[in-house]
Amino acid sequence: MRRWVSAGTGAHNYARVAAATRRHHPTALAELAALARGAEIDVDALLLANLRGDLGSSDGTGCSDLGWRGRNTVLAHNEDAAPALEGQLMFVTLAIDGEPTVTAQWYPGFLPSNAFTATSNGLVWGINHIQVAHPSASPGRHFVMRSLQSAPDLTTALEYLRSHPMAGGFAVTIGSSQDGRAAGVETAAGLVDIAEISEEQPLQWHANHLRRLPATLDEPAAPTSEDPTQQLGGFAESVARGELLERLCTTVANLGEDRITVRGAAGLTSTLPLSDFVDGRQFVTS
């Protein structure tokens, strides 16, 4: 990634996206700076890692989500990543004064905002990577999604996503336990499409491609000299077994029944009240 942003298109994209991130998301950027200080890592290195999906370089990672609205609203998320990340994914609970409590899947070095999230305001969502070859001059997607975690309800959350586009791309399946509403959001290269899940169309799903925004947005990105997925390790092994990604975690949240089930890569499963999960009550999945 350092080579990609050192010159040419990569440098141009990085300058625009980093500037927009600093301008629009100073609080999330300050959190990243604090994380860098605590880990004794250069903050610019962490910023680059968090912007890796916003710079037009190739990134083969991804997940899958579905949302169902029937008698209850159910959201499900598969967290799929490179095999070397097994054992690195964890859940972190954020209890910050003046903000809703948040429990999110977290990879060390990233803002806790690029996978699965549940908040004490009753919002739950899963995120899928969308490859964007030509990012817009918008903030980085991790920073947009970290700021979303303060939303008080689904209406506010959807309006926030509509008015805060991101440089790269995410598909977001989001629901609320307050009223059972849910929606599928595609946000990529500065464009946003929102479709609420209804009785007439009760199912929404995504798996790393666009379904409503123009398909040209998620065309293959320019390859870098070292594909980011290869840098994660285990690439040759995963190619040999015919799978580039490994399922690290499956999460299923029943919003109507205040229940969540989490299954780790080793197969150990925990089911507990969603409200307890949000508050960081102890459970084991590995």
Whether 73 is in a domain gets the answer yes
Pairwise CA distance, residues 2 & 136, whole Å: 20
**Beta-bridge partner residues of 195:** 184
Strand order in the sheet with 116-119: 90-94, 102-106, 116-119, 123-130, 169-176, 182-188, 191-196
**Domain encompassing residue 267:** 4-278
Whether 211 is in a domain gets the answer yes
Whether 286 is in a domain gets the answer no
Count of domains for the chain: 1
For 204-244, write each residue's pLDDT tens digit.
Answer: 999 888 999 998 888 765 555 445 445 544 445 445 545 55
- Domain of 69, CATH number, reads 3.60.60.10
Dihedral sign, Cα of residue 153, residue 158, residue 164, residue 167: positive
pLDDT along the chain (286 residues), means of 10: 89 97 97 96 95 85 90 95 77 96 95 97 96 95 98 98 97 97 97 95 91 86 51 49 70 97 90 96 64
* Beta carbons of 141 and 53 less than 8 angstroms apart: yes
Whether 150 is in a domain gets the answer yes
For 129-170, write each residue's pLDDT tens digit.
Answer: 999 999 999 999 999 999 999 999 999 999 999 999 999 999
Whether 285 is in a domain gets the answer no
CB atoms within 10 A of CB 15: 12
Whether 284 is in a domain gets the answer no
**Tokens for 139?**
């903030």
Q: pTM for this structure?
A: 0.90
